[in-house]
Amino acid sequence: CYGLSPLGPSARMRVPHGVDARISFGPHAPGGQYATMKSTRTVLACAAAILLLAMGVRQTMGLFMPQMTVANGWSRDEFALAIALQYILWGAFVPFAGAIADRFGAGRVLVASAVAYIAGLALMALSQTPLHLGLSAGLLIGLALSGTTFGVVMGSVAKVVKPEKRSVALGIVGA
């Protein structure tokens, strides 16, 4: 590492993905491999919108609890178990979502996670048993949150913003 290759000082080591990503946007992008971003502001606006939607929906889960528990005859413990499962899976799978985003691209992870989020919300609305609620609100939405929240989105922002402006950009998106 750091130039100390067992093959000698002249051996070229693979450049880390983060360095490659800086040239993946704009006029130096390899043809057809990455999308061209016109503006850093566009990236910031899209990242803020993704976080707003993903986190906003997650924050409202408590508002649904009284209606869902009364309508289905569940206890609040059964609803809380599904939400706890969601939080555990979200935290456990963020590193994996980040690794997949580094390997295959953040856009693919965001799209797949958004589809899982939509499926989880739709199935949550149709849940008839606490098991269905746990699978939809807990499993699907928990996995989807790992790919649509801070780990993937902030990593994407950090790749396109200059290092001296990075903390301001991440603060804007996170706010």
Name the token pair of 56: 């906003």
Q: What is the mean pLDDT of each run of 10 residues along the chain (175 residues)?
A: 45 50 48 55 88 84 80 87 92 93 91 94 91 92 92 88 88 86
Q: What pLDDT sits at residue 32?
A: 44
Q: What pLDDT sits at residue 172?
A: 87
What one-character DSSP code corresponds to residue 35? P
| 129 membership: H or E segment, kind and range | none
